[in-house]
Amino acid sequence: MQALFENLDLVLFAALFVVGYFAGRWNERRHYASIRRREKDLAGVLVFSNRFPPAASGRAATRLVAGSAVISEDYFKGALAALYSIFGGRVRSYESLIDRARREAVLRMKAEAHGLGASMIVNVKFQTFAIGGRSQNSVKGVEVLAYGTAVAPAGGA
């Protein structure tokens, strides 16, 4: 009887692992589709790392805008990253976390600027934070904060 329960635990773990893998991939694909759609919608708000707007922009109203996104890792990404920490190499699963968080933060910043009537954001900077500790019970993820100066025609922002 005990052997049955031990095997049941292993089967349950494997089933949850597989379900988690496919659910995580489905969620990630859905999020990327949402990101691509919103990037098209907000393509008119330009983002620059330059400190000042182009001289040809004339008089403009400026305002600080920011966007923040927190993306958590799923169990499969964590398990895969643990394997890479043993053998070394690129951790592509974490690269997708950073990419999604960065793009989401930029979109949220652009949406705020668009709401203010701004057509560009200059002096854009990024801050990245790791979330979660070494505890096995903590949620691990990444936060990206994007911020810059929204530039709108005088009287806009």
In angstroms, the CA 145 to CA 33 distance is 21
What residue segments make up the domains of the chain, in order of their start? 2-153
CA dihedral of 35, 40, 43, 45, whole degrees rounded to 10: -50
Q: Flag the least confident range among 21-30, 38-47, 64-73.
A: 21-30
Q: What is the predicted pLDDT for the residue at 157?
A: 52
* Selection from 46-50, 107-111, 149-153 with the highest mean pLDDT: 107-111
pLDDT exceeds cutoff 90 at 143? yes
Quickly count: other Cβ atoms within 10 Å of residue 149's Cβ.
21
Interior CA angle at 59 toward 40 and 49, to 5°?
45
What fold is seen in the domain 2-153?
A: Translation Initiation Factor IF3 (3.30.110)
Q: Flag the least confident range among 28-37, 76-85, 109-118.
A: 76-85
**Higher pLDDT residue, 52 or 2?**
52
- Stated pTM of the model: 0.80
In angstroms, the CA 144 to CA 122 distance is 18
User: Do you know the residue count of the chain?
Assistant: 157
pLDDT exceeds cutoff 90 at 58? no
**CA distances from residue 113 to 43, 50, 65, 110, 149 in whole angstroms, order as listed:** 12, 17, 6, 5, 9
pLDDT exceeds cutoff 60 at 156? no
Q: What is the predicted pLDDT for the residue at 123?
A: 96
CB burial of residue 87 (10 Å; 0-12, 13-18, 19+)? exposed
Q: What is the predicted pLDDT for the residue at 45?
A: 95
